[in-house]
Amino acid sequence: MGRLSPENRSRAEAIVALYPRPRSALIPLCHLAQAQDGWLTREAMEEIGELVGCTPAEVRGTATFYDMLHTEPVGRHVLTVCTNIACMLAGAYEVLDHAEASLGISVGQTTADGEFTLEEAECLAGCDRAPCVQVNHRFFGPLDPEGFDDLVEQLRAGRLADTVPPHGTLSRVERKVALPALAAKAAAAGSAPGGAKGQGGAKGQRRGPVPA
């Protein structure tokens, strides 16, 4: 836990290589680390900093801006209830109140067994199935309180393991194509990406002019 596994380390290096500047890979690498550990550990943030050429503090400072990135441990299933306008009009607060009562936790908390973290979300763009809920960013809806209980029951029993993968929105996303042309150009310009550089390193990694 913490540092990236050898397999994830090579995935991370491949992701960094996709971008003209390594720092652009910061968010994808945070998703990758979350897929591994469920949240962003201090060690992971340090390693991401090394990979993209910035300080661990910059990784943390960036990650805390984004709702999906967790800098503290969360449960195995993060239940995200949307209460924005379309879901609210469809009764989302009734679902959220019920969720708090039935799980015995408030929004932002995790059940004692580590199974569920409850979150309230802004619009998830699932308004045609309002009120909608995400579990590790997989959509369910429309849900009423009974439907919510049923969902929790199925998750607890492991019956949705195929539909709901572990954390990390990219856990099932795999880029199978390399970038021979562009990687070669970058190498020719003397800016092979992926190396751990100091803070100013990323800025100096501008690719030379390339004809369109």
Partner 1 sequence: MITDAPRIVTARVGREDSFSIETYLATGGYEGLRKALSMAPSDVAAEVNKASLLGRGGAGFPAGRKWSMLRQAPTRYLVVNGDESEPATFKDHMLIENDPHQIIEGTAIAAYATGAEQAFIYCRGEFALGLERLQQACNEAYAHGALGADILGTGYALDIVIHPGAGAYICGEETALLESLEGKRGFPRIKPPYFPAAVGLYGEPTVVNNVETVANLPWVITNGADAFTALGAGSSTGTRLFALSGRVVHPGWFEIEMSKTTFRDLIYDPSLGGGISGGRELRAFIPGGVSAPWFGPDQLDLGLDQDAVGKAGSMLGSGSVVVMDSDTCPVRAAWRIAQFFHRESCGQCTPCREGSGWIEKLMFRLEQGLGQEKDVDLVLDACDNISPGLSWPPKQTTICVLGPSIPSAIVSVAKMFPDELALHVKEGACPFPPDAVRRG
Q: Which two tokens stand for residue 161?
A: 């393991």
In the complex, least distance from residue 176 CB atom to partner 1, rounded to whole angstroms? 5
18 versus 118: smaller Cβ distance to partner 1: 18
101 versus 125: smaller Cβ distance to partner 1: 125
Contact yes or no for 205/185 (Cβ under 8 A): no
96 versus 105: smaller Cβ distance to partner 1: 96
In the complex, least distance from residue 208 CB atom to partner 1, rounded to whole angstroms? 8
In this structure, the number of other CB atoms found within 10 A of the CB of residue 204 comes to 11
112 versus 136: smaller Cβ distance to partner 1: 136
In the complex, least distance from residue 16 CB atom to partner 1, rounded to whole angstroms? 10
In the complex, least distance from residue 112 CB atom to partner 1, rounded to whole angstroms? 26
Q: Which two tokens stand for residue 202?
A: 């990323």
In the complex, least distance from residue 88 CB atom to partner 1, rounded to whole angstroms? 5
In this structure, the number of other CB atoms found within 10 A of the CB of residue 193 comes to 24
- Which chain residues interact with partner 1 by CB under 8 A? 18-21, 23-28, 30-31, 52, 54, 61-63, 65-69, 83-86, 88-95, 121-128, 130-131, 134, 136-139, 144-145, 169-170, 172-177, 179-182, 206-207, 209-212
112 versus 121: smaller Cβ distance to partner 1: 121
Taking the CA of residue 131 as centre, how many other CA atoms within 13 Å lie in the half-sphere pointing to its CB? Answer: 28
What is the b/e burial string over 115-126, where b = at least 16 CB atoms within 10 angstroms of the residue's CB? ebbbbbbeebeb
How many angstroms separate the CA atoms of 194 and 206, rounded?
Answer: 13
